[in-house]
């Protein structure tokens, strides 16, 4: 991003006279006064704290101008200020303006599981032939998507945007903001069921990603999911399906897995073996979605296959890391839901080890009234012959703890509250041997990344 403040003022309909500052160069936007680059426009958002309190700090750290909410008291006169009705809406309006100015193709991705991994795969495949910008970290909401857009270099040809949701209408807004050329839904699971009540309603909300899809755009989705195939009948745009059935446009064949990679072929390129450097055959569908996008942009199967060899993956998504005593740790601490836990545990139990398999699970959040039942349902993923020691963290894990007591004795089944991390870490450090393998998974709000850091 590189714009003069005067251009930004017009894009956000600033209410004050900015003529004295019109030629100030802005190279980025930021809403955290502590973490910004020199040349940034500061956006004071109102949340638990009022961002206007941090304007001076932002300027001290390198910001060259700030937005200011019109009804927020006296407007500073000694600094470059753009007075606007609502800083968040202005951030969104500026991102829309910049997106239209650069005019890249847009690939939007959502799903209950796999959207971040799929985003990384799609970006890697497209980067074989195009200049690509993708969502960083978890910048996938009403704030993160605009910031992602405004991080785009002027030579960007394709933007790959991850979109999250936790309520109806959110994807409708984001889709209409970016007007995607391609919309992808990876799958429908139980994530965020607290806010929606049923998988049917989750599917309805996920379909909102098509609301801004261009008329000549393409909708890509899991063709083996009835909730999606039923709703796709209402979409007029071109459609492509991926999955495991011969009725899908692209489907996998000859799947093989190891503890570090998953390989498969497809009906469209049976001579090209796709090797994904990740554990778990559940990543096959994510890769199939990426291959579907590759076909739309006329990337050859060989070029797409080669791109998977050097994937640039977001951290803490089923990533093997070394532990302090020599053990191997499968880190999957960014997010969690019942489908994701069962999938990664199925893969984990197939990993050979001379030691013990130990599993650390934190609460799965946003599961609503069914939370305890869904936690207890994870019992089906446990076999004491394959998982020798279990460590559960959080109030909802009490339900799974009770369910597992007929499979594990007290020496091999442990329960901790969220404020007992130190006790958990001490127990793990006492138990873990160099030959062991350890899975750590939980919703981000449980902060098992701190446990991971202690073990490393």
Q: Give the C-alpha separation, 160 to 181, whole Å.
A: 10
Q: Give the C-alpha separation, 22 to 10, whole Å.
A: 10
Q: Give the C-alpha separation, 368 to 48, whole Å.
A: 24
Quick check: 126 and 299 in contact, CB under 8 A? yes
- Looking only at Cα atoms, what is the longest distance across the chain? 74
CA pseudo-torsion sign 411, 417, 422, 424: positive
Tokens of 393: 């963290």
What residues contact residue 21 under an 8 Å CB cut-off, 6+ apart?
Answer: 5, 6, 65, 80
Q: What's phi and psi for 261, nearest 5 deg?
A: -155, 160
Tokens of 132: 């690509």
Tokens of 182: 């391609």
User: Residues annotated in the binding site, as ranges?
Assistant: 111-117
CA distances from 223 to 183, 203, 210, 247 (A): 14, 13, 16, 8
User: Residues annotated in the binding site for ATP, as ranges?
Assistant: 111-117
CB-side neighbour CA atoms (13 Å) of 104 = 26
Q: What's phi and psi for 4, nearest 5 deg?
A: -80, 155
Q: Is 430 exposed, middle or buried (0-12, 13-18, 19+ CB in 10 A)?
A: exposed
CA 169 to chain CA centroid, nearest Å: 18
What residues contact residue 360 under an 8 Å CB cut-off, 6+ apart?
Answer: 391, 392, 393, 424, 428, 438, 439, 440, 441, 442, 448, 451
CA pseudo-torsion sign 170, 174, 180, 182: negative
What residues contact residue 196 under an 8 Å CB cut-off, 6+ apart?
Answer: 168, 202, 205
């Amino acid at each position: 991003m590189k714009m003069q403040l005067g251009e930004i003022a017009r894009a956000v309909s600033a209410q004050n006279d900015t003529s004295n500052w019109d030629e100030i160069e802005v190279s980025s936007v930021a809403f955290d006064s502590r973490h910004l680059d020199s040349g940034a426009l500061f956006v004071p958002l109102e949340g638990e704290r009022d961002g206007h309190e941090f304007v001076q700090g932002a300027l001290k750290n390198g910001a060259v101008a700030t937005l200011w909410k019109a009804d927020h008291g006296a407007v500073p006169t000694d600094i470059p200020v753009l007075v606007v009705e609502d800083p968040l809406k202005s951030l969104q309006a500026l991102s829309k303006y910049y997106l239209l100015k650069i005019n890249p193709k847009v690939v939007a991705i959502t799903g209950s599981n796999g959207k971040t991994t799929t985003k990384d795969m799609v970006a890697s495949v497209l980067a074989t032939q195009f200049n690509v910008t993708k969502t960083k970290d978890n910048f996938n909401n009403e704030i993160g998507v605009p910031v992602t857009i405004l991080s785009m270099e002027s030579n960007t040809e394709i933007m790959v945007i991850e979109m999250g949701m936790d309520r109806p209408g959110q994807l409708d807004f984001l889709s209409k903001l970016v007007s995607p050329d391609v919309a992808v839904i990876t799958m429908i699971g139980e994530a965020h069921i607290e806010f929606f009540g049923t998988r049917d309603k989750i599917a309805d909300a996920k379909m909102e990603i098509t609301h801004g899809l261009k008329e000549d755009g393409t909708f890509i989705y899991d063709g083996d999911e009835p909730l999606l195939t039923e709703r796709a009948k209402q979409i007029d745009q071109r459609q492509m399906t991926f999955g495991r059935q011969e009725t899908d446009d692209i489907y996998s064949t000859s799947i093989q897995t190891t503890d570090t990679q998953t390989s498969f072929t497809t009906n469209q390129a049976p001579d090209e073996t796709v090797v994904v450097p990740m554990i778990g055959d559940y990543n096959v569908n994510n890769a199939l979605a990426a291959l579907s996008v590759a076909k739309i942009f006329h990337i050859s199967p060989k070029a797409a296959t080669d791109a998977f060899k050097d994937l640039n993956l977001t951290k803490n998504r089923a990533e093997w890391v070394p532990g302090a005593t020599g053990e191997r740790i499968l880190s999957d601490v960014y997010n969690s839901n019942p489908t994701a836990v069962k999938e990664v545990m199925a893969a984990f139990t197939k990993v050979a080890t001379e030691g013990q398999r130990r599993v650390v699970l934190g609460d799965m959040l946003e599961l609503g009234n069914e939370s305890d039942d869904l936690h207890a349902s994870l019992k089906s993923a446990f076999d004491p012959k394959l998982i020798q020691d279990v460590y559960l963290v959080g109030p909802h894990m009490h339900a799974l703890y009770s369910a597992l007591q007929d499979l594990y004795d007290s020496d091999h089944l442990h329960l901790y509250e969220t404020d007992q991390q130190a006790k958990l870490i001490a127990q793990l450090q006492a138990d873990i041997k160099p030959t062991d393998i350890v899975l750590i998974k939980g919703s981000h709000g449980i902060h098992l990344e701190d446990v991971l850091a202690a073990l490393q």
